[in-house]
Amino acid sequence: MPRTVRSVAIIALCAIAAAVSAQNRVSEYAVKAAYLFNFGRFVRFAPSDAVNNRRTFDICIVGEDPLGLALDDLTANERLDGKPVRVARMKTAGEARTCAIAYISSAEGAHVRTDLDALRGLPVLTVSDSANFLQHGGMIQFVIIGNHVRFAVNLDAVRSAQINLSSELLKVAVSVNGETPAGVRP
C-alpha cells in the first residue's frame, strides 16, 4: 500500500475514533463497522493455500449482528487485498474458518472461548468487543475510552496465526501487549 494511502487511512482511523464523543449505541456500532473495514487495509496474511484460495475478502460476523447494515453500506463495491469485499453472517465460528476477518459478537458470551478455539491457528483476524477477549486469545478487542471507540491488540495471537498488522495500525492501538487497558469498558 503506498505511503500516501496509508497516511490517509490512519488519519481516517483517528478521525473515526475522535468523532465518537457522546455517541449513542447506533453510532458506536457504525464506528466499529468502519474499524472492521479499515483493519482490512492494514492486515497482511502469510501466503498459504487457505489465503490463496480466497476469491473474496470476507468480513464475517459470528453470532448476533449488532452492526446491522453499517458494515454492508461501508463495504459495498469495495476491494481489499485486490479482492471484492463480502460481508457474511455466520451462526458459528466454525463457519468463519475461510474468512479474512471474523467479528465475534459479544452476545456470544460464554461461547467466545469455543469460537476462538475453532479459529485458532487459521489466517483469520479475530475481533470482538467481548470482555477479556484478548486474554482468551483474541487478536483485536474494541474498548471504550472516554466515549471513544478504540482498540487493543494481542500481538502474540496475531503472530501465531501468521498474520502481520501494519506498524501504522499498531501505533493507533491503545495497547499491543495482549492486555485490556485498565479503566476501559468493552
Is residue 180 in a domain?
Answer: no
Based on the structure, what is the number of domains in the chain? 1
Strand, coil or helix: what is 23?
coil
In this prediction, residues 162-178 reach a mean pLDDT of 91
Is residue 130 in a domain?
Answer: yes
Residue 79 — pLDDT band, cuts 50, 70, 90? very high
What the block records as the C-alpha cell of 95 is 463457519
**In CATH, what number is assigned to the domain containing residue 146?**
3.40.50
pLDDT value at 186 more than 70: no
Is residue 163 in a domain?
Answer: yes
Is residue 160 in a domain?
Answer: yes
Residues 159/43, Cβ–Cβ less than 8 Å: no
Q: What is the pLDDT of residue 21?
A: 40
The per-residue pLDDT of the chain, averaged, comes to 86
Task: Map grid coordinates 474494541 to a residue.
Answer: 142
pLDDT value at 86 more than 50: yes
Residue 4 — pLDDT band, cuts 50, 70, 90? low
Is residue 177 in a domain?
Answer: no
Is residue 23 in a domain?
Answer: yes
The end-to-end CA distance of the chain, in Å, is 31
Is residue 181 in a domain?
Answer: no
pLDDT digits (tens, 9 = 90+) for 8-46: 455 555 555 444 443 445 589 999 999 999 999 999 998
Q: What is the pLDDT of residue 47?
A: 86
- Between 146 and 140, the more confident residue is 140
| Structural domain of 80 | 3-172
CA-closest candidate to residue 128, choices 84, 82, 85, 64: 64
Strand, coil or helix: what is 153?
strand
Is residue 146 in a domain?
Answer: yes
Residues 65/108, Cβ–Cβ less than 8 Å: no
